[in-house]
Amino acid sequence: MKAIRTSLIAAGLALALGSTTFAQSGPMAGASMPQARQEHMREHKHEHMAERHAKHLAELKTKLKLDATQESAWKAFADAMQPSAGMAARPDRAAMEKLSTPERIDQMQALHAQHDAEMKRHGDATKAFYASLNAEQKKTFDAETARFMARSGGRGMHSHRHF
């Protein structure tokens, strides 16, 4: 876990140091796109992700064949798997460019801390739900989540990229 954290901090540092290069180069691909259009596309993307997330959870619930005694555990798990409001948002590039390098590093570390807390919350909820499953359901859950992780490139339930 420490190696992952170190890698994430190094990536954040590289991003922070490299952002001045991007700021000095020509316009980015989306720079000419009107801001309203960019916001619309971002909202559409988040709606699409939310729909895919809900579909994935519904499919998982069906495959697990939960009984009535497991419904409360499922609800707690499904509620915990909903993305937090601020987790999908990328740091504002213009605001980040106005910060000094140490301030950008602090911002990136705060973002990583937020992601770590979200990952812990998801992990704890998953472990609690997993404990409520019978042996056959655990096999199904393991197979489905392994398949999902492979499809999402190992980035977890929400597959967000923030860099």
Q: Is the pLDDT of residue 1 over 60?
A: no
In a domain, residue 125? The reply is yes
Between CA 95 and CA 149, with CA 11 as vertex, the angle to 5 degrees is 110
In a domain, residue 133? The reply is yes
Rg (CA), the chain: 19
Residue 133, sorted as left (phi over 0), alpha (psi -120 to 50) or beta, turns out to be: beta
Question: Domain of 90: which CATH number?
Answer: 1.20.120
Render pLDDT for 150-159 as a digit per residue (tens, 0 to 9): 655 555 444 4
Closest CA to 145 of 132, 126, 131: 126
Q: What distance in Å separates the CA atoms of residue 97 and residue 22, rounded to the nearest whole number?
A: 10
End-to-end CA distance of the chain: 19
Q: State the pLDDT confidence band at 41, using cuts at 50, 70 and 90.
A: low
Tell me the CB-side half-sphere exposure of residue 163, using CA atoms within 13 A. Answer: 20
In a domain, residue 28? The reply is no
In a domain, residue 49? The reply is yes
Q: What is the mean pLDDT of residues 134-142?
A: 96
In a domain, residue 137? The reply is yes
The tokens describing 46, both together, are: 């988040």
Domain containing 141: what range?
34-151
In a domain, residue 122? The reply is yes
pLDDT given for residue 24 in this prediction? 46
Residue 87: which residues within 8 A CB-CB, separation 6 or more? 114, 115, 118, 158, 160
Q: What distance in Å separates the CA atoms of residue 161 and residue 155, rounded to the nearest whole number?
A: 8
pLDDT given for residue 46 in this prediction? 65
Collapse the DSSP code of 121 into the 3-class scheme (helix H, G, I; strand E, B; otherwise coil) and give the result: helix
Q: Is the pLDDT of residue 161 over 50?
A: no
Instruction: Give me the number of domains the chain comprises.
Output: 1
For residue 103, report the phi and psi dihedrals to the nearest 5 degrees.
Answer: -65, -40
Q: What distance in Å separates the CA atoms of residue 115 and residue 57, rounded to the nearest whole number?
A: 21
In a domain, residue 42? The reply is yes
In a domain, residue 44? The reply is yes
